[in-house]
C-alpha cells in the first residue's frame, strides 16, 4: 500500500476504497505489548519461502565508528527486528529460520508496533530500549538522524563490498539511502507502477491492446472508447487510479516536481511544462470524464472492480506488487503495460523503496548487519526472484545485475507461462527501474506548506481550479520553507 507521506502526492491508495487520504503508515490494530509492540520469538525450523503478495518496506544502518573485521559463524545473539506490517511476518520468519540454520546461536525476535510508529520508535530510542533493526521510511529519517540513534552503514558497506555490492544497487536506491553523504539505510527492494488492462474487455470492444511506446493520446482514445454510460450514470470507466501518482505526468511533459528528489531546495511545479502535465492529467477526469474524480471513489474498491466481473475499470494505474493477488483472483485474461509516453517522448516511471536501519546502541550490530545482507543482498535476491518473480513480498530487485540478467528474464518468462506473473511483468516493472525516476521526499521543515500543495493538487484533480493558477498560489510558500539553494 502506498500512502501520502509528505512527498507531494495529493492522494494514495487506501485499503478497501478507491482513493482517499490515509495515515502516513498503516498501523497495527493488534493491541497489547510493551510500548505498543507485539513481540514474537522465531526459533530454528522451517526452510521455505512464501509467494510474494504485497508491498514491503525496509531499511538498515551500521556503526559510524570503524567497522570490526568480518566474521564467519556469528556468536550467539538475539536480534530484535521492528516493523509495522504484519503481512510480511510469515515470509520474513521463513527467511530468518534459514538464516538461523547457518548461524545457530542467533535468534531473531520480531516486534510489530501498534499505534503511531515513528513516535513509539523515537521513545524507544530515547529510553534505550530500541530494537536492533527497525523499518524506517526515507521521509521519516530526519528526526532519527538528529536524535543520533541510527548508525552509519558506510564502514560496513565498504568492508563487505562483495556481499553488499553497493555500486551495483540501482542509482535511485543509492541516492535514497545516502543521507548527507552517509549511508544510513539498506534498501529492501523498490517498486514502480504500470497500467493493468483487461485483455478480454479490450478485445470485446475492438480496441488495440496497450503496448510499449504507446502515448498519452493512445491512452486517452482507448479510455474514451472503453467508457460506457447509461444516461447520466457511468457504468464503466475507461481508466481508474489505484495509485494516483501525478509525478510521471509532470515528467512525461518535460517538467520537474522538485530540483532534487531528496533535500530539495525548490519546487518547480509552477513552471509551464509542469502545470501543463498536471492539467492533462486533470483533464482526463474533468474534461474527458474517462476516470472518476477523487471524491467519486468513495464506497468501493477500484481494484476489485478491475479484476472482478463484470468489468468496471478495464484500465487501472497501479503498483507492481498488485500483479500477484490478481493472478489468483481475476477471471479473465489480463496483462500490464508501461505508463504511456508524454510529449517529452521518454519512458518515465516512478520508483521508491523502503529501508531498515540498525540501532547505533545495538549490542548485536554484526548479527543485525549479517541478517540484513542475508535478506536483501544480491545472492538471495537473484534466487528468490527466479523462484517467485519478485524479491521478498513482491518487492522488485535492488540490483542492476539482477535486472539485466538473461537467466532472470528466462525465469520470468517461465513464470508467466505458468500463470504466476503476467506476460508483460518483467519488461514493464523490472526493466522500467533502469529509467524510473525517484519519488520525491519533501524535507521535514516544509511539511506544512507541502500539505497546502497537496490540497491544491486535489482541487486541480477535482476540477475546482486549473493547474497553473493553483500552483502559482501555493508553490512560493513551499519554496520559502525549503530555503535558499545550498
Query: SS3 string of 3-40?
Result: CCCCCCCCCECCCCCCCECCCCCCCECCCCCHHHEEEE
Clarify whether residues 181 and 202 are in a common domain: no
Q: Does residue 403 lie in a domain region?
A: yes
Q: Does residue 475 lie in a domain region?
A: no
Clarify whether residues 38 and 186 are in a common domain: yes
Q: Kindly write down the DSSP assignment for every residue of 138-198, as one continuous string.
A: GGGHHHHHHHT-B---HHHHHHTHHHH-GGGB-HHHHHHTEETTEE--EEEEEE-EEEEEE
Clarify whether residues 183 and 215 are in a common domain: no
Q: Which residue has the cell 479510455?
A: 223
Clarify whether residues 70 and 176 are in a common domain: yes
Angle value at C-alpha 81, between 78 and 83, nearest 5 degrees: 165
Clarify whether residues 97 and 243 are in a common domain: no
| Residue 72 pLDDT level (bands cut at 50, 70, 90) | low
C-alpha cell at 390: 519478485
| Residue 320 pLDDT level (bands cut at 50, 70, 90) | very high
Buried b (16+ CB within 10 A) or exposed e, 54-72: bbbbbbbbbbbeebeeeee
Q: Does residue 270 lie in a domain region?
A: yes
Give me the chain's average pLDDT, please: 83
Q: Does residue 391 lie in a domain region?
A: yes
Domain count, the chain: 2
Q: Does residue 1 lie in a domain region?
A: no
Reported as a single tens digit per residue, the pLDDT across 170-182 is: 999 999 999 989 9
Clarify whether residues 84 and 206 are in a common domain: no
Is pLDDT at 454 greater than 90 in this prediction?
Answer: yes
CA distance 458 to 461: 5
- Mean pLDDT over 349-361 rounds to 94
Range of the domain at 413: 34-190+353-424
As a whole-number percent, the residues of the chain with pLDDT over 70 amount to 84
Q: Does residue 176 lie in a domain region?
A: yes
Reported as a single tens digit per residue, the pLDDT across 196-250 is: 999 999 999 999 999 999 999 999 999 999 999 998 889 999 999 877 799 999 9
Higher per-residue pLDDT: 356 or 18: 356
Clarify whether residues 314 and 385 are in a common domain: no
Is pLDDT at 71 greater than 50 in this prediction?
Answer: no
Reported as a single tens digit per residue, the pLDDT across 371-417 is: 999 999 998 999 999 999 999 888 999 999 999 999 999 999 999 99
pLDDT of residue 366: 96
CA distance 355 to 188: 5
Is pLDDT at 45 greater than 50 in this prediction?
Answer: no
Phi and psi dihedrals of 25, rounded to 5?
-145, 145
- Mean pLDDT over 57-83 rounds to 59
- Which of 318, 348, 378 marks a domain boundary? 348
pLDDT of residue 202: 95
Task: Give the closest residue to 185 by CA, choosing from 139, 152, 161, 140.
Answer: 152
Clarify whether residues 177 and 198 are in a common domain: no
Q: Which residues on neighbouring strands pair with residue 150, listed in sequence order?
A: 359
As a whole-number percent, the residues of the chain with pLDDT over 90 amount to 64
Clarify whether residues 317 and 369 are in a common domain: no
pLDDT of residue 17: 31
Q: Does residue 479 lie in a domain region?
A: no
- Which of 348, 373, 398 marks a domain boundary? 348
Reported as a single tens digit per residue, the pLDDT across 441-452 is: 998 889 899 999
CATH number at 149 reads 3.40.190.10
Q: Does residue 11 lie in a domain region?
A: no
Clarify whether residues 125 and 100 are in a common domain: yes
pLDDT of residue 485: 52
Clarify whether residues 159 and 249 are in a common domain: no
- Which of 370, 394, 424 marks a domain boundary? 424
Length of the chain: 486
Clarify whether residues 68 and 150 are in a common domain: yes
Amino acid at each position: 500500500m502506498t500512502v501520502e507521506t509528505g512527498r507531494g502526492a495529493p492522494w494514495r491508495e487506501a485499503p478497501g476504497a478507491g482513493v482517499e487520504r490515509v495515515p502516513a503508515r498503516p498501523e497495527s490494530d493488534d493491541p497489547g505489548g510493551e510500548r505498543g509492540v507485539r513481540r514474537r520469538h522465531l526459533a530454528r525450523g522451517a526452510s521455505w519461502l512464501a509467494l510474494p503478495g504485497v508491498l514491503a518496506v525496509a531499511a538498515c544502518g551500521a556503526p559510524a565508528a570503524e567497522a570490526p573485521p568480518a566474521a564467519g559463524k556469528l556468536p550467539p545473539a538475539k536480534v530484535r527486528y521492528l516493523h509495522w506490517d504484519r503481512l510480511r511476518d510469515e515470509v520474513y520468519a521463513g527467511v530468518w529460520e534459514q538464516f538461523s540454520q547457518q548461524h545457530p546461536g542467533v535468534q531473531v525476535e520480531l516486534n510489530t508496533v501498534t499505534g503511531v510508529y515513528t513516535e513509539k520508535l523515537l521513545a524507544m530510542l530515547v529510553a534505550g530500549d530500541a530494537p536492533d533493526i527497525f523499518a524506517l521510511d526515507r521521509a521519516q529519517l530526519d528526526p532519527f538522524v538528529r536524535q543520533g540513534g541510527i548508525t552509519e552503514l558506510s564502514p560496513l558497506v565498504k568492508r563487505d563490498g562483495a556481499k553488499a555490492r553497493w555500486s551495483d544497487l540501482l542509482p535511485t536506491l543509492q541516492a535514497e539511502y545516502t543521507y548527507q553523504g552517509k549511508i544510513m539505510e539498506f534498501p529492501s527492494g523498490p517498486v514502480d507502477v504500470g497500467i493493468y488492462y483487461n485483455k478480454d474487455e479490450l478485445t470485446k470492444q475492438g480496441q488495440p491492446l496497450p503496448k510499449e511506446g504507446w502515448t498519452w493520446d493512445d491512452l486517452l482514445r482507448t479510455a474514451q472508447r472503453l467508457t460506457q454510460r447509461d444516461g447520466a450514470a457511468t457504468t464503466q470507466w475507461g481508466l481508474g487510479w489505484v495509485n494516483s501518482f501525478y509525478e510521471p505526468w509532470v515528467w512525461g511533459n518535460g517538467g520537474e516536481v522538485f530540483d532534487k528528489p531528496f533535500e530539495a531546495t525548490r519546487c518547480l511545479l509552477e513552471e509551464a511544462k509542469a502545470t501543463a502535465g498536471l492539467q492533462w492529467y486533470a483533464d482526463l477526469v474533468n474534461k474527458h470524464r474517462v476516470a472518476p474524480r477523487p471524491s467519486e471513489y468513495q464506497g468501493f474498491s477500484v481494484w476489485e472492480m478491475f479484476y472482478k466481473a463484470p468489468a468496471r475499470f478495464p484500465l487501472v494505474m497501479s503498483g507492481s506488487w498488485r500483479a500477484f493477488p490478481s493472478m489468483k483472483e481475476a477471471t479473465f485474461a489480463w496483462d500490464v503495460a508501461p505508463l504511456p509516453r508524454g510529449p517529452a517522448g521518454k519512458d518515465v516511471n516512478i520508483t521508491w523503496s523502503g529501508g531498515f536501519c540498525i540501532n547505533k546502541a545495538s549490542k548485536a550490530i554484526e548479527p543485525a548487519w549479517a541478517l540484513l545482507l542475508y535478506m536483501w543482498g544480491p545472492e538471495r535476491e537473484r534466487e528468490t526472484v527466479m523462484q517467485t518473480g519478485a524479491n521478498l513480498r513482491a518487492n522488485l530487485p535492488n540490483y542492476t545485475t539482477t535486472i539485466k540478467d538473461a537467466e532472470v528474464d528466462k525465469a520470468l518468462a517461465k513464470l508467466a507461462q505458468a500463470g504466476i506473473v503476467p506476460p508483460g511483468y518483467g519488461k514493464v516493472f523490472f526493466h522500467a527501474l533502469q529509467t524510473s525516476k525517484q519519488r520525491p521526499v519533501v524535507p521535514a521543515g516544509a511539511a506544512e506548506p507541502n500539505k497546502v500543495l497537496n490540497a491544491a493538487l486535489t482541487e486541480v484533480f477535482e476540477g475546482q481550479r486549473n493547474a497553473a493558477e493553483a500552483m502559482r498560489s501555493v508553490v512560493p510558500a513551499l519554496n520559502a520553507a525549503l530555503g535558499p539553494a545550498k
